[in-house]
Amino acid sequence: MPTTRVMEGLADMTGQQCNTLDIVRLVARRPEPTYEVRCTRCQSTSTAPHSRLRSGAARCLASGCGKVQQRQRGRDLEEEQRKQAEEREKQRIADVQAASLRRMEAEVEGYVLPTKRRPAAEHVVLTERDRIAIRQRREELEAEARTERETREKPVRELTQKINETSRQIAALERKVLLDPNVKDLDFWHDPELVGLHLTVEGATEWNYAMLKGFADSHPEFVVNDHNLQILNNYFSKHSVLMFTTEQLNRVYKRMLACGIPFDAPEQANTDVIANDTPSDTKRPDANLTIAPAKEPDKPKAPTYEGFDLQTGEPRTFTEREVARMSSEEFKKAMQMVARGEMGLPRIGPGPNGRGYRA
């Protein structure tokens, strides 16, 4: 009967393996058999005693063995995962692109891209007949456009004509009211300043003159001559108004200008004379037919009177006080007035009969 007899420690273990260690060769017999071992994991070489190899306790003693291997493996794993992720992403992008390409191909199937430039137009030689045809066609189109435009604008044009015609008629009526001696103006404005004022004929003439002066001062473009004064005079005469105010003159003059009553406009030579005579006009030597803003009736300015010196006969300006101290004869002389009925107006200014006129 065979029996297994275990002999302690004396069998040569060269070539055997213990854990990760390959037993390479026997390097010492005493005090205990010792073997050179090589770790299969880290390839490091060391020695191990027979007893530890026999009991299976021998381990690789290299300090980094296993740990390095594990760390390396972790790093490798990480790298591996990253690579896989990259690979998946690349694949996904490729799939998307392929799908897009397939879709585009399906959409543009049979479509031919245009060439970059239009082909140069061929030089066409027109015959005379072609030219005539083209011209006729163009004229037809223009005539159509013209007709269409006229049709479209016709109502507007008609309305504009009507409005113009109406305003012409209104202006004509206004002129008739203001000029015709037989037509009374229903809108005649009575200045409250005149209410209760009773003056002699001479006093009225002085009053009118002062008012006219105030009016002419505020309207540099108003030429004081017979024609222009007559227009104003007639208007007040036909209403049997013997005295008027600057405000009344302003108002009626404004209406007369608005409806186009022809006043004599200042000529260049005449405006020069005015400018020389009255320094206040030099401020606006180019004053043309502009209408100065109507003066407030409640703001009378200190009146002065243009006349001629009683001794020397030279033109001069009289203050209100000087005029008030004159007798009526002196006043007439100083103003060189010629009574022309109740509404006599002085012959002053640059008109053909005025004193400022020099041929």
| Residues lying near Zn ion in the complex (CB under 5 A) | 39, 41-42, 60, 62, 65
Which residues face 317 on adjacent strands?
Answer: 306
Question: Nearest approach, Cβ of 55 to Zn ion (angstroms)?
Answer: 19
Token couple for 61: 């003693």
Question: Nearest approach, Cβ of 20 to Zn ion (angstroms)?
Answer: 6
To the nearest 10°, the Cα dihedral for 267, 272, 278, 279?
Answer: 130
Question: Nearest approach, Cβ of 60 to Zn ion (angstroms)?
Answer: 3
Please state the φ and ψ torsions of residue 206, each to the nearest 5 degrees: -65, -45
Question: Nearest approach, Cβ of 45 to Zn ion (angstroms)?
Answer: 9
Of 39 and 259, nearer to Zn ion (C-beta) is 39
Of 39 and 252, nearer to Zn ion (C-beta) is 39
| Length, in residues, of the chain | 359
Question: Nearest approach, Cβ of 61 to Zn ion (angstroms)?
Answer: 8
- Yes or no: say if 241 and 334 are a contact pair by the CB < 8 Å rule: no
Of 66 and 297, nearer to Zn ion (C-beta) is 66
SS3 296: coil
Of 62 and 275, nearer to Zn ion (C-beta) is 62
Question: Nearest approach, Cβ of 64 to Zn ion (angstroms)?
Answer: 8
The owner of tokens 């101290």 is: 325
Cα–Cα distance for residue pair 221/350, rounded to 1 Å: 12
Nearest to 338 by CA among 181, 209, 207, 197: 209
Of 68 and 143, nearer to Zn ion (C-beta) is 68
Of 40 and 161, nearer to Zn ion (C-beta) is 40
Of 41 and 355, nearer to Zn ion (C-beta) is 41
Distance of alpha carbon 100 from the chain centroid: 48
Question: Nearest approach, Cβ of 85 to Zn ion (angstroms)?
Answer: 33
- Yes or no: say if 231 and 273 are a contact pair by the CB < 8 Å rule: no
Cα–Cα distance for residue pair 77/87, rounded to 1 Å: 15
Nearest to 211 by CA among 229, 226, 185: 229
Query: Which residues, at least 6 apart from 186, have a Cβ–Cβ distance to it below 8 Å?
Result: 177
